[in-house]
Chains A and B, each alone.
Chain A
Amino acid sequence: MSIKRLGLPALGLGLGLRSKHFNHILEQAPEVEWFEAISENFMDSFGRPRNILNQIAERYPVVLHGVSLSIGSTDPLNFEYLKRLKALADEVKPKWVSDHLCWTGVLTINSHDLLPLPLNEESLDHVCERVLKVQEFMQRPLMLENPSTYASFTNSDIPEWEFLSEMTKRTDCGLLLDVNNVYVSSFNNDFDPVTYIKGLPHDRIVQMHLAGHQHCGNYIIDTHDRKVTSEVWKLFNLAYRLVGKNSILLEWDGNIPEFDVYHSELLKAKKYMHENMPDLVETEHEGMVESVSNPINFIPTEIA
């Protein structure tokens, strides 16, 4: 019997830290329970972004969420990256550090995308071995997120939820369940999202993500650029009832709205935790033009 959430706290409702909102957060100190920062935006920054992250970390619980660990890559682990990540974590003191079950590149190239892995015994062994090494180096458990996928492979023979379950058993890592990603991947790759969520090891889920997506007719892109759809809220409701108190984070990376709009979308999660889901309106999908998926986020230079 494992300890629920690896013994980590349920932080409540949090938001992604975006440069557009830096001033608002510092000046208005909004009542948000916690923030998630993209690790790579701050690891090599010694200017304003890092300074602001440090100020926010003094006032709010913070977690670090990475996009370049590349845990599934066949390249050797990048220990220079891990060293920088560890230094940032030592400074910011996040509640935990997370990344994705994916690979981002090989032969030293970084595609800056969260690329899917074939899911089979060979890749499971490979990922678990690397998770153990990362945890040993970081001296903390790692949380891994299910990515949005747009393809699956002929040499995959383990369903993703079973892969994640086995991975947590072998490595004692935690899970970041992205409910939107489950929906996106299930639509794109013909699996049942309810079976997926029911099949996960719920006591290992430390955090959940919510986000909006772009429906393009016969496929869905994980754009993080709009409100959460009713289909995802329904899955969230199921997940929350199975998992219990947790740390819920709304991601928004494209067409980022004003802070209050972003926050009010997050607060809907309070309503949709309950079984009857009051006021849930079915989402009408508009516009079939493909947008860019946004697993990355670049902080532009500002001048006075």
Chain B
Amino acid sequence: MFQQWMQQMLLDPHQKTAQNPADLLPSSFEGNVVKESSRLSAKEHLAIYQRSYIARLRNCMAQQFSALEYCLGEELFTAFADEYLAENPSTHYNLGELGRGFTKYLENARPDREATEKEEWIDFIIALADFEFKLNEIFEEQAEEHYKLATSKTIKSNLKLVPICYLFKYDFPVQNYYSDFKHERTPEVPLKQLSYCVVLRHNFKLSLFDIHEEQFHFLTLLKRLNDINLTIKQFAKDYSKSIDEVTAVWQIWKARWIELNFFREQ
């Protein structure tokens, strides 16, 4: 009961919820739970824990969503993070899990949620939060690492996408914004524009590339079908092109993608 009381005092220091911490204490507790000291009152002692609880988790959220914090500015980001943490206290030992529900929270918290016309910048921050969290997951994901990268000499039937290869489609150029921020440039909130990107991990390092719609479709097919010939065939069908036309384009894409470590050799 004592621990429930103390935890409630940390999670809800201003007692905004219906739970009165005092109700959590056994009747044997009379007066203060926390001792006063020669320098601080009991309340001041407890306040140190109350301040550090939220400050520490805010700090972790800011590291987990660093581009989003830059985009929103510290004050607004902190307001969102505080409210999110109040509604979703951590239940996992792994701090990487702390922001798992943040994108959903932002979607639910958007002020224009009921409006028919949505604010574009809010759509952008939701997309950016989604992208950042997924990158964190991809960075830590378990996957085969010891494979041979394909070269220009690898025969077509032996070309396979590297084990960690994710494709993203957003209504904004999220990848450009994120990469600019990470490379210490100062990106502005972009205008709405359909964007596609691929995230690869090789030798435990993430690489991010913009691709165009046709490439996105081709790589999506390749991930699903896991076979170049079948992918070319399906792609030709989807875009009403001949096999020869698609093969010619594929040769150009292939050369570039091999250079960028998209493929391993089977």
A residues sitting closer than 8 Å to B (CB atoms) are: 40, 43-49, 51, 68, 73-74, 78, 81, 103-113, 115, 118, 150-156, 188-190, 218-219, 221, 290, 292-294, 296, 298, 300-304
CB-nearest residue of chain A to B42:
A151
Least CB distance from B144 to A in Å reads: 11
The CA of A104 and the CA of B66, in the complex, are separated in Å by 26
- Whether A300 lies near B206 (C-beta < 8 A) is no
Which residues from 32 to 51 on chain B have a C-beta closer than 8 Å to any C-beta of chain A?
32-35, 37-40, 42, 44-46, 48-49, 51
- Whether A105 lies near B7 (C-beta < 8 A) is yes
Tell which of A51, A112, A221 touches B57, judged by Cβ atoms closer than 8 Å.
A112
Closest A-B pairs by Cβ, 10 of them: A46-B142, A68-B93, A48-B204, A151-B45, A218-B39, A150-B48, A301-B139, A106-B3, A47-B140, A292-B55
B residues sitting closer than 8 Å to A (CB atoms) are: 2-4, 6-7, 10-11, 29, 31-35, 37-40, 42, 44-46, 48-49, 51-53, 55-57, 59-60, 63-64, 66, 89-96, 132, 135-136, 138-143, 145, 179, 182, 201, 204-208
> If the complex has contacts A49-B140, A190-B38, A218-B40, are A112 and B95 also in contact, measured as CB distance less than 8 A?
yes
The CA of A219 and the CA of B39, in the complex, are separated in Å by 8
Contacts A110-B92, A300-B63 aside, 17 further interface pairs with beta carbons under 8 A come to: A43-B94, A44-B96, A47-B204, A73-B3, A78-B93, A109-B7, A112-B95, A113-B53, A150-B48, A151-B46, A155-B33, A219-B44, A219-B48, A292-B55, A292-B59, A293-B56, A294-B56
Q: Which B residues are in CB contact (< 8 Å) with A293? A: 52, 56
> If the complex has contacts A46-B141, A51-B145, A74-B3, are A154 and B52 also in contact, measured as CB distance less than 8 A?
no
Q: Which A residues are in CB contact (< 8 Å) with B92? A: 110
The CA of A27 and the CA of B35, in the complex, are separated in Å by 50
- Interface centre among B2, B11, B59, B138, by most chain A C-beta atoms within 10 angstroms, is B2
Least CB distance from B8 to A in Å reads: 10
- Whether A107 lies near B93 (C-beta < 8 A) is no
Tell which of A74, A105, A113, A304 touches B52, judged by Cβ atoms closer than 8 Å.
A113
Q: Which A residues are in CB contact (< 8 Å) with B136? A: 301
Q: Which B residues are in CB contact (< 8 Å) with A150? A: 45, 48-49
Q: Which A residues are in CB contact (< 8 Å) with B90? A: 105, 109-112
CB contacts between A and B, total, < 8 Å: 153
CB-nearest residue of chain B to A41:
B95
Q: List 8 A-B contacts (CB under 8 A).
A: A43-B94, A46-B142, A112-B60, A156-B35, A189-B37, A219-B39, A303-B179, A303-B182
The CA of A301 and the CA of B136, in the complex, are separated in Å by 6
Q: Which B residues are in CB contact (< 8 Å) with A112? A: 56-57, 60, 90, 95
The CA of A303 and the CA of B132, in the complex, are separated in Å by 11
- Whether A303 lies near B207 (C-beta < 8 A) is yes
> If the complex has contacts A47-B204, A189-B37, A298-B60, are A107 and B135 also in contact, measured as CB distance less than 8 A?
no
- Whether A110 lies near B93 (C-beta < 8 A) is yes
- Whether B11 lies near A153 (C-beta < 8 A) is no
- Whether B95 lies near A109 (C-beta < 8 A) is no
The CA of A150 and the CA of B35, in the complex, are separated in Å by 10
> If the complex has contacts A113-B49, A151-B48, A292-B56, are A107 and B7 also in contact, measured as CB distance less than 8 A?
yes
